[in-house]
Structure 1
Amino acid sequence: MRNDDLVPTTKTAIFGGCVSRDTLAFSGDENYPLTRYIARHSLLSAGQDASHNFPVFNVRSRFQQRIIDFDIRGNLFHEVAKLGNIDVLLWDLNVERAGCWEFPDGSVVTNSPDLRKVPELRSSLSNARKIDFNTEEHISRWKTAADVLVEALASAEIKNRVLVLAPDWALIDTAGQPTRKLGELRPSDAPAAFAPYLTHLEEAGLRVARFTGLVSDLDHRWGRAPFHYTSEAYELFRKRIDEFVQEQRT
């Protein structure tokens, strides 16, 4: 943990998922006040209003209701200008592994577990076409959407405050056992699968923070996954965030 007497609070926004959010939880939310959390939203669904393909729905969790509706309406690009005076926007790409669904009208939604758990929304996907992660189509369309987002970030004058967290998936857990694949993606194949996406962001001028040799925590609060790391990993992430923010302040 950091010393609050030495380091000022870091106003933070997140576009992504558990890697960024878990890092803040480990580091102490009071030190990294979260101004905006855009979760479980593939970049391919940004700018794509698919709401007319779905019925009205309600889920118990207000957080899940909000993130599903936000993704269905594709509101990401509109939100960038509202981020305001933040110190850092953390972005991680794990949500992209699930792929997307495209409807006949061309609108897109993320293939998120939150959406699929709602029966009336899941049934609406029967009319959509799956676009799988790391296919030629997914990569090409993702890069185009990334260019639009980077342009929006530059217009909002926060491009230089974006840090992409890109830790490799852990190959072993705290018991020394190999981690399991998620869907069709093996942890050992994840670096190569995410590489074209991360390289494109670097070529677009964003900072990408890579980490290797990490371990998955079997006692993680969210359960077993190759991107649910030990406290040592989150400490590495936190230090990199602090270094990045300090660079922007000097």
Structure 2
Amino acid sequence: MHKNLMIYGSSVSRDPFEDLGSDYALLAYIARQSMISALSRPTALLTEETLGSALQNRSLNGDLKSNLLPTLQRYAPEADLLVIDLTDERLGVIRLPDGNYVTRSPELMKSPLPAGIAGKARRIAPATEEHWTLWESAANRLFGSLTAMGLRDKTLVLNTPWARVTEHGEAVPPFRDSAQDVELNAYLAECCAHIRSLGYTVATLPPELRVSESSHKWGPSPYHFGSAARQWIAGQMASAAAGVAVA
């Protein structure tokens, strides 16, 4: 039976979608958009930017427009499942001089846009008290909106603790450094626990699957998982889309 999915997250969710086959359609993919930025007002301080790829353009310009909720509202009536992963929360946010927020994404930092607000903006790193206060408020608003859209029972949140080794047992290059990665991992788990407390389904990647892939198309990293993890995630998506309980 045909199923329509939306993804708010990263390649952690997007790559396994490709394993689902032709019975599944992707209505929307919102990436590189922290919940803090997504629930912030669109900013007029930074204009749209043209980058090297269509995905980069969509991601950055969507973040500047805070287009998450409008996108979800547009497709919610057709959607069988919304998949969320929090991987991009690792990036933190930037508080702009107008009081709004944008995600500190690679796309933003590679663009000329930050030069226009140099000395006027402030970075807020994840796993800090300030980030948590902002994130918790944004999460409460987002999941309240999802409930209002009728998506509570059609949402799957993925908790994917990061890999520390590849399938060959080799150490994975850290995102920041080993100590900060441990802190970020714990922080993302705390975020998932909060989402679960709001009554939403959270599926946690089993420990034995938390392995990176040395031949991954984007290279090994803590969140570039191997084929077994991707198959598990795809299976969770398929089950949730069919209305089968997942864990």
Tell me the TM-score normalized by structure 2: 0.90
The match for 1:20 among 8, 13, 17 is: 13
> Once the 2 structures are TM-superposed, how far is the Cα of residue 79 of structure 1 from its aligned partner?
2.3
Between Structure 1 and Structure 2, how many residues are aligned?
A: 240
Aligned partner of 2:109: which letter?
A: R
Alpha carbon RMSD of aligned pairs, Å? 1.9
SS at match of 1:130: strand
Aligned partner of 1:39: which letter?
A: A
Task: Give the equivalent residue in structure 2 for 1:66.
Answer: 58
Q: Deviations over 1:194-223 (max 9, x none)?
A: 122111100111111101232100101111
SS at match of 1:15: strand
Q: Deviations over 1:176-198 (max 9, x none)?
A: 11222102465544431212211
The runs of 5 or more residues in structure 1 that have no matched partner are 1-7
For 1:242 and 1:27, the matched residues in 2 are separated by: 7
Aligned partner of 1:45: which letter?
A: S
Matched, 1:133 2:126: yes
Task: Give the equivalent residue in structure 1 for 2:173.
Answer: 180
Moved more, 62-71 or 10-19: 62-71
> Once the 2 structures are TM-superposed, how far is the Cα of residue 247 of structure 1 from its aligned partner?
2.7
Aligned partner of 2:96: which letter?
A: F
Aligned partner of 1:180: which letter?
A: P
Matched, 1:157 2:150: yes
Aligned partner of 2:203: which letter?
A: A
Aligned partner of 1:194: which letter?
A: L
Q: Deviations over 1:47-83 (max 9, x none)?
A: 4345321245322422222221110111222222112
Aligned partner of 2:128: which letter?
A: T
For 2:117 and 2:86, the matched residues in 1 are separated by: 23
SS at match of 1:27: coil
Task: Give the equivalent residue in structure 2 for 1:94.
Answer: 87
Matched, 1:36 2:32: no
Tell me the TM-score normalized by structure 1: 0.89
Aligned partner of 1:63: which letter?
A: L
Matches within 5 A, 1:1-250: 8-28=1-21, 30-83=22-75, 84-118=77-111, 120-126=112-118, 127-184=120-177, 186-211=180-205, 212-213=207-208, 214-247=210-243
For 1:136 and 1:147, the matched residues in 2 are separated by: 17
For 2:185 and 2:56, the matched residues in 1 are separated by: 29
Contact kept in structure 2, 1:179 and 1:225, CA below 8 Å: yes
For 2:42 and 2:4, the matched residues in 1 are separated by: 32
For 2:162 and 2:101, the matched residues in 1 are separated by: 27
The runs of 5 or more residues in structure 2 that have no matched partner are none
Q: Deviations over 1:130-163 (max 9, x none)?
A: 0100111111111111111111111111121110
For 1:209 and 1:67, the matched residues in 2 are separated by: 25
- 1:125/1:228 CA distance change after superposition, 3 Å: farther
SS at match of 2:143: helix
**% same residue:** 30
- 1:86/1:248 CA distance change after superposition, 3 Å: farther
For 2:186 and 2:159, the matched residues in 1 are separated by: 12
